Amino acid sequence: MAEKAKEAAEGMDARWYRAIGSGIWSFLNSLKLTIFILISLAVTSIFGTAIEQNAPIEQYIADYGETWGKLILYANLNDMYYSWWFRGLILFLAVNIIVCTLERFPPKWKSLLNHKQERFEPRLIEKFAHHESLSLSASPEAVRDRLLQVLRKKRFGTVTSGGGGEFFIYAWKGRIGRLGSDMTHISLLLILLGALLGSIYGYRSTVFMNVGNTIDLKNENFMLRLDKFWIDYYDTGHIRQYNSLLTIVEDGKEVLQKQIWVNEPLHYKGIKFYQANYGLSWNKLEEAQIVFRRKVDDGTEISFAAKWNTLVDVPNSKYSVKLIAYTADFAYDEENNLVYSKSENPENPAIKIEVYEGDRLISSPWLFLNYPGIFPAIPDSDVDLVYTGHRGTWFSGLQYSRDPGTNVVWVGSAVMGIGFIMAFFIYHRRVWIHIKGGGQSTEIKIGGTVNKNTFAFERDLKEITGSVSSNERP
Amino acid sequence: MILSLVFFTFSFIFYILATTAYAGYWVFRKKWIGQIATALAFIALGSTTMVLISRAGEAGHGPFSNLWESMVLFVWATNAGYLMMEYRYKFKAIGTVVMSIMTLAMLAASLLPYRYKDVTPLNPALQSKWKWMTSLLSKWDLQNYAIGWLDFHVVTTFIGYAAFAISFGLAILYLLKNRYEARQQQVKLLDAFPDSKVLDEMSYRAVAWGFPFLAVGIVSGAIWANYAWGGYWSWDPKETWSLITWFIYAAYLHARVTRGWRGKRAAYLSILGFAAVIFLYWGVSFILPGLHAYA
């Protein structure tokens, strides 16, 4: 007794389990769910374009107020497209696609393979949305041959059966069009897979380089050097193009040199380097204009250019000068005894030079463009050096990224293209024809179905019937 | 420099005339008015083509780099699409609605400030000529006529927009017609339009053209971005809105095969989809800053 009860309970359990399972399955199998998810994705995506993404957290509080700002952060609307719930929605769509495909594809495939109907009930023809009946004087055989000829000319596949004045024709065309929707769905899954691969194994990074710099790339075992950066202009003065000449250095050897510009990245070992940005460097100069002034004597002033990292003689003197540092927006961090640039804009330009008397370094002062002469360049001397201007150098902003999912995305896109052509422009047409001779006349019933573009199909049918009925009138 | 603007004015006049003629055909249903309307539509198409050609000559690149140029392209594609549809389906009264959309688009383009109409050289990001084509054409010294991602991306996208505009016009007609059919009311003016079933089918066919073209536009944009911006997808507002639009039309296509959603709800989705297209095209350009700021 007890065992039976237990069995019954298990049976109940199984049934309960199955009922929930099939409930979930049919929920996931519904097209209404597809529409719901698609519209949800559309609506939620709008938030991501209306609310600035990845701004500093304080900005949301400042822009939207305490309550709304916190709500935005709580709902991850500040980084929406990468939030768990947006990704969940996409995953939901993927599951929906998979379930729908599993549910619909196998029976569809089967029916497409075993579709030929050599014999059928003639009355069924009248049930089709598109059907017609004709009465002709030609013999049934002649009508059959004529119809087959027309159908084959229109590239329909045909099977016929019957004899003794009664014939059945079944014709079809464009079966493969039925698979277009499945191709499209699979292509979407491929694209999502590619995006997933990219988000797991890929990265994007930005680097700002001065000409001559070599950088060591994180995660990669080679180095990148910027040899040159320049801007091309149109005659009108508009910027035509930004260019960087890059060299890949691997194991101390130069392995590849390439000129890149916007629209022309450098590929190396799965990494792409893009021209993303440019500007005047905030930590390097080509040269600085310096005025050498004698405080006593005649007070003569001589202007000369100090070169970056190169010793130049100061004219008519025993000194020589080397330009060793520059900051566009000078600031001093007392705690760490560090000089840094507050911004990349030349708000408070300052240079550091080394002054030599012969071979002896006698001074290495900071000089300020906005505050000439505030500190003496060479302490306890009767001369001074004043920083009066400079010629900057460009920096090149390079973005580099690795995304192993990209090719999967392209394959997905290509499959989608094929899927679209199949789904939208190949129609599955099926035609059933029953021919029956009886005494003086031959009765024809012709009918069919099409999965889309009924308009074109009606024209097809008209041409097919026209081909036999036009023979009637001499 | 002025020639394209002259052709534009000329085209604008012909769009107004064609719209009037189609409306005349719709109201009076005289065959000869319909023939005049179609002829005017063809002249307008030829003239719009000349706007594009002359602008390409003036600018030295494909005329797809500012809002005015793209509006002309939109009108051109809508007109070409409409005439193909008219040729296939032979329903001319629909022209009243579709031509009105084009005339409105021309009006909008003509009202743009001059800086949106001016000839501008291509900025660095827009220089995307295909190298294989440039090198192929350079054999005959024709390398200046090579096209690239800019041309391909913009043209495919705008064929999509045009198809959606046509679908939108048909969806509105469907809703009107369906309303009176459901009440079994005879409205003489609506008789000129085909049955609601046919309108639904035509509206769907238009989306069936627009949807893959928008997809090709998005994918070609992604391929281009992978050359120019450091990745195939950056959730730039234009990218996101194109996806939103695509989602809405994907919903439309699924609605049409779902019981209870075909017909009316599908038509509403088509209208919603075109609203998204307008925002994608104009709204994003003017309101949301992003990488697509130039058009």
Q: Are A217 and A400 in contact (CB under 8 A)?
A: yes
- Nearest residue in A to B121, CA atom: A238
Q: Are B170 and B273 in contact (CB under 8 A)?
A: no
Strand pairing class (A350-357; A366-368): antiparallel
Q: ipTM strictly over 0.90?
A: no
Which helix (H) or strand (E) is B121 found in, with range?
Answer: none
Q: In chain A, which among 42-101 make CB contacts under 8 A with chain B?
A: 42, 45-46, 48-50, 53, 81
Query: Quick one: pLDDT at residue A474?
Result: 38
Segment A460-472 mean pLDDT: 77
Q: What percent of chain A has pLDDT over 90?
A: 11
**Cα dihedral across residues B213, B219, B222, B223: positive or negative:** negative
Q: In chain A, which among 336-375 make CB contacts under 8 A with chain B?
A: none
With residues binned 3-state (H G I as helix, E B as strand, rest as coil), the percentages for chain B, rounded to 5, are: 80, 0, 20
Q: How many CB atoms neighbour CB B87 within 10 A?
A: 9
Q: Are residues B16 and B90 in the same domain?
A: yes
Tokens 């319909």 correspond to: B34
Whole-number Å distance between alpha carbons of B247 and A43: 10
User: Which burial class, exposed, middle or buried, applies to A170 when counting CB atoms under 10 A from its CB (0-12, 13-18, 19+)?
Assistant: buried
The DSSP secondary-structure symbol of A71 reads H
Q: Are residues B87 and B16 in the same domain?
A: yes
Token representation of residue B292: 């697509």
pLDDT tens, position by position, A56-114 = 888 888 888 888 888 888 888 888 888 899 999 999 999 999 999 998 889 889 988 88
Q: Which of A263-267, B172-176, B189-193, B240-244 has the lowest mean pLDDT?
A: B189-193
Long-range contacts of A105-110 (CB under 8 A, 24+ apart): A105/A182, A108/A178, A108/A179, A108/A182
- Angle between helix axes B149-182 and B94-111 (nearest 10 degrees) is 130
Segment B103-111 mean pLDDT: 93
Q: In chain A, which among 90-149 make CB contacts under 8 A with chain B?
A: none
Average pLDDT taken over every residue of chain A: 85
Whole-number Å distance between alpha carbons of A271 and B156: 29
- Nearest residue in B to A194, CA atom: B232
Query: Quick one: pLDDT at residue A65?
Result: 84
Q: Are residues B58 and B156 in the same domain?
A: no
CA proximity to A434, closest of A421, A447, A422, A425? A447
Q: How many CA atoms lie within 13 A of A173 on its CB side?
A: 20
Q: What percent of chain A has pLDDT over 70?
A: 95
Q: How many CB pairs under 8 A join A and B?
A: 123
CB proximity A240 to B under 8 Å: yes
Most confident option among A135-149, A161-175, B104-118, B153-167? B153-167
- pLDDT higher at A165 or A94: A94
Last residue of a domain, one of B73, B92, B121: B121
Q: Which positions in chain B touch A426 (Cβ < 8 Å)?
A: none
Tokens 């002054």 correspond to: A355
Whole-number Å distance between alpha carbons of A243 and A431: 63
Q: Are residues B100 and B172 in the same domain?
A: no
Q: Are residues B218 and B180 in the same domain?
A: yes
Tokens 């991306």 correspond to: B153
Segment B74-93 mean pLDDT: 92
The DSSP secondary-structure symbol of B126 reads G
Q: Are residues B7 and B128 in the same domain?
A: no
- Angle between helix axes A454-469 and B196-228 (nearest 10 degrees) is 120
Q: Are residues B205 and B229 in the same domain?
A: yes
Query: Quick one: pLDDT at residue A473?
Result: 45
pLDDT tens, position by position, A412-449 = 999 999 999 998 889 899 999 988 887 788 888 888 88
Q: Which positions in chain B touch A406 (Cβ < 8 Å)?
A: 226, 232
A371 confidence band (pLDDT: 50, 70, 90): confident
Whole-number Å distance between alpha carbons of A419 and A411: 12
Token representation of residue B150: 């800019």
Residue type, B58: E
Whole-number Å distance between alpha carbons of A170 and A434: 9
Q: Are residues B291 and B148 in the same domain?
A: yes
Query: Quick one: pLDDT at residue B290?
Result: 62
Q: Are residues B202 and B285 in the same domain?
A: yes
Q: How far apart, in Å, are the Cα atoms of A371 and each of A19, A308, A351, A352?
A: 83, 21, 12, 14
CA proximity to A413, closest of B280, B163, B246, B222? B222
CB contact under 8 A, A242 and B243: no
Last residue of a domain, one of B121, B137, B157: B121
Whole-number Å distance between alpha carbons of A311 and A288: 13
Strand pairing class (A319-327; A350-357): antiparallel
Which helix (H) or strand (E) is A32 found in, with range?
Answer: helix A31-50
Torsion of CA B127, B129, B130, B136, to 10 degrees: -150
Q: How far apart, in Å, are the Cα atoms of A53 and each of A60, A69, A240?
A: 10, 13, 30
Range of the domain at B8: 1-121
| Among candidates B121, B124, B241 on the partner chain, residue whose Cβ is nearest the Cβ of A262 | B124
- Nearest residue in A to B230, CA atom: A274
Query: Quick one: pLDDT at residue B289?
Result: 64
CA proximity to B280, closest of A82, A85, A42, A40? A42
Q: Which residues of A364-397 are buried (b: 16+ CB within 10 A; e: fewer)?
A: ebbbbbeeeeeeebeeeeebbbbbeebebbbbbb
Token representation of residue A281: 């460097």
- Nearest residue in B to A399, CA atom: B230
Bridge partners (DSSP) of residue A307 are A287, A310
Whole-number Å distance between alpha carbons of A37 and A30: 11
Query: Quick one: pLDDT at residue A328?
Result: 86
B293 confidence band (pLDDT: 50, 70, 90): low
pLDDT for residue B294 is more than 70: no
Q: How far apart, in Å, are the Cα atoms of B242 and each of A70, A261, A331, A450, B237?
A: 29, 27, 45, 31, 8
Token representation of residue A271: 């990494």
Segment B72-82 mean pLDDT: 95
DSSP character string of A294-347: ESSTT--EEEEEEEBTB-EEPTTSSEEEEEEEEESBEEEETTTTEEEESSSS-S
A12 confidence band (pLDDT: 50, 70, 90): low
Q: Which positions in chain B touch A413 (Cβ < 8 Å)?
A: 219, 222
Mutate to test the interface with B, among A38, A92, A231, A420 (most CBs of B within 10 A): A38
Q: Are residues B25 and B164 in the same domain?
A: no
The SS3 assignment for A279 reads: strand
Q: Which residues of B238-270 are buried (b: 16+ CB within 10 A; e: fewer)?
A: bbbbbbbbbbbbbbbbbbbebeebebbbbbebb
Query: Quick one: pLDDT at residue B84?
Result: 94
Number of domains into which chain B is organized: 2
User: Which burial class, exposed, middle or buried, applies to A411 when counting CB atoms under 10 A from its CB (0-12, 13-18, 19+)?
Assistant: middle
In Å, the largest CA–CA distance within chain A is: 136
Q: Are residues B7 and B103 in the same domain?
A: yes
Residues whose CB is less than 8 angstroms from the CB of residue A195 and which lie 6 or more positions away in sequence, other chains included: A405, A409, B233
Q: Are residues B137 and B176 in the same domain?
A: yes
pLDDT tens, position by position, A184-230 = 999 999 999 999 998 888 888 888 888 888 888 877 888 888 888 88
Tokens 């053209």 correspond to: B209
CA proximity to B251, closest of A425, A96, A414? A96
Last residue of a domain, one of B121, B152, B169: B121
Query: Quick one: pLDDT at residue B206?
Result: 93
